[in-house]
Amino acid sequence: MDTLHNSQYFFSEEDQKQLIDLQPSLDQLGYFPREALEVITQNQHFHLFVPQERGGLGCSLTTGMRIIEAYSRIEGNLGWIVQIGAGGGVFAAYLEEAVARSFLGRPDQVIAGSDYAGGKAVSVPGGYKVSGAWKYASGSLHATAFTANCRIVKDPNDIRVKAVIVPAEQVTVIKDWNAMGMRATDSHSFRINDVFVPEKHAFTVAPDQLLIENRLLQLPFMLYARALFVPVLIGTTFRYLNLYRDYVVRRNFSLDSRSAVAADHLEKTWQASRNDLYQYAEKIWHSAEIKEVDKETEKQFSRQCIQITDRLLISIDQCHRHTGMEGIRMNSQINATYRNIKTAAAHFLLSPGSL
């Protein structure tokens, strides 16, 4: 089985032990625990992709992907929270330095939010009055700020959309996350009601709006998002495979049994999928140093991410049908891991309909 590359950004053995100790309880807790947050913030992993010019780690795409995978190998909820929190770090590059540092200047500061245009921003002197409601803001209970897309209201024909960033104390979290998996990700809805947002706290996610230039920020945003989602699946599948192999051993299935054959197939599928993902991501990362990533490359990477998702889901289902009662018990680790995979794979950007 594969081991992750060493990295100066990975967590220590002590941190890893602390996360492993939390592993069995995350699904049953139904919320993200403070002990896990402490490990993430101490290692600045919410700031993987905050540019160094704004005080972050400024990681390369593939280094960040491997760190997200490392968390996901321990437990899917961990990986999902890290990739969501880290993913929002790039917004610092669209904000003036003083604004960016006010929202992301400390390791414990993290953004939750939504890219759905669920609100309206009425132009007023100096900024906007913002109201609206947004769903699925992972990390909402520990976020220190929220980003939300709004339609700018000046006249009935104005259809522009801007993102706004607001402090968490100006947001109302609606605790409605009730999915079958990723139950500790606090992916609740939130509401903003007639809040004044200064003009400097509004931004548009577009290349010509960047205040900082580097390779990561040159990547198309949807490519970047998919590149962070898939390592969660890769890492959580690694955990599922280990749990399933343990199950096969405990049941004393023969090496040529259908259950053992399914495990071998899943391992090969996982290894091939992981290799494909990182090879293509490395190719994109190196090419971005020379030129802008073109639409065809973005499409190819999107297709690959969806194909990887499909292959993993099929192979995991072939294994899970052999897990008997242990596989359907809500309090078993293999069941929780299976539900986490299914929930992560349900994200629109990993579905064929997103192409």
The CATH number assigned to the domain holding 23 equals: 1.10.540.10
3 domain residue, yes or no: no
147, 159, 235: which is closest to 190 by C-alpha?
Answer: 147
Q: Looking at the structure, tell me whether residues 223 and 350 fall in a common domain.
A: yes
98 domain residue, yes or no: no
Q: Looking at the structure, tell me whether residues 195 and 246 fall in a common domain.
A: no
195, 168, 172, 164: which is closest to 99 by C-alpha?
Answer: 164
Q: Looking at the structure, tell me whether residues 232 and 202 fall in a common domain.
A: no
Mean pLDDT per 10-residue interval, the chain, length 355 residues:
54 91 94 96 96 93 96 97 96 96 95 92 94 97 97 72 96 97 98 97 92 90 95 98 95 86 96 97 88 88 97 98 96 97 96 84
User: Which of 60, 92, 124 lies at the terminal end of a domain, its last residue?
Assistant: 92
46 domain residue, yes or no: yes
Number of structural domains found in the chain: 3
The pLDDT of residue 247: 94
- What CA–CA distances, in Å, run from 198 to 122, 181, 205, 217, 303? 12, 37, 17, 24, 39
With a CB cutoff of 8 Å and minimum separation 6, the contacts of 281 are: 61, 62, 65, 227, 301
The pLDDT of residue 4: 57
User: Which of 206, 237, 268 lies at the terminal end of a domain, its last residue?
Assistant: 206
Q: Which DSSP letter does residue 176 get? A: -
Q: Looking at the structure, tell me whether residues 124 and 195 fall in a common domain.
A: yes
The pLDDT of residue 272: 98
The three-point CA angle 298-351-138 to 5° equals 95
Q: Looking at the structure, tell me whether residues 306 and 331 fall in a common domain.
A: yes
Q: Looking at the structure, tell me whether residues 287 and 192 fall in a common domain.
A: no
Q: Specify the CATH number for the domain of residue 186.
A: 2.40.110.10
The pLDDT of residue 155: 57
**Cα separation of 102 and 90, whole Å?**
15
User: Which of 151, 173, 206 lies at the terminal end of a domain, its last residue?
Assistant: 206
With a CB cutoff of 8 Å and minimum separation 6, the contacts of 157 are: none
Q: Looking at the structure, tell me whether residues 38 and 65 fall in a common domain.
A: yes
**Cα separation of 209 and 227, whole Å?**
22
Are 243 and 261 a contacting pair, CB within 8 Å? no
Token pair recorded at residue 325: 């009662």
The pLDDT of residue 90: 94
**Cα separation of 144 and 93, whole Å?**
18
Q: Looking at the structure, tell me whether residues 116 and 84 fall in a common domain.
A: no
103 domain residue, yes or no: no
160 domain residue, yes or no: yes
**Cα separation of 105 and 92, whole Å?**
10
126 domain residue, yes or no: yes
**Cα separation of 63 and 69, whole Å?**
10
Q: Looking at the structure, tell me whether residues 52 and 115 fall in a common domain.
A: no
212 domain residue, yes or no: no
55 domain residue, yes or no: yes
**Amino acid letter, residue 27:** D
Q: Looking at the structure, tell me whether residues 244 and 321 fall in a common domain.
A: yes
258-287 helix and 221-250 helix, angle to the nearest 10 degrees:
160
- What CA–CA distances, in Å, run from 337 to 78, 229, 274, 280, 323? 12, 16, 18, 27, 13
Question: In sequence order, what are the beta bridge partners of 123?
Answer: 128
With a CB cutoff of 8 Å and minimum separation 6, the contacts of 91 are: 111, 147, 163, 165, 203, 205
Q: Looking at the structure, tell me whether residues 139 and 23 fall in a common domain.
A: no
Q: Specify the CATH number for the domain of residue 255.
A: 1.20.140.10
Q: Looking at the structure, tell me whether residues 81 and 115 fall in a common domain.
A: no
Q: Which structural domain, as residue segments, surrounds residue 47?
A: 13-92
Distance of CA 100 to the CA centre of its chain: 21
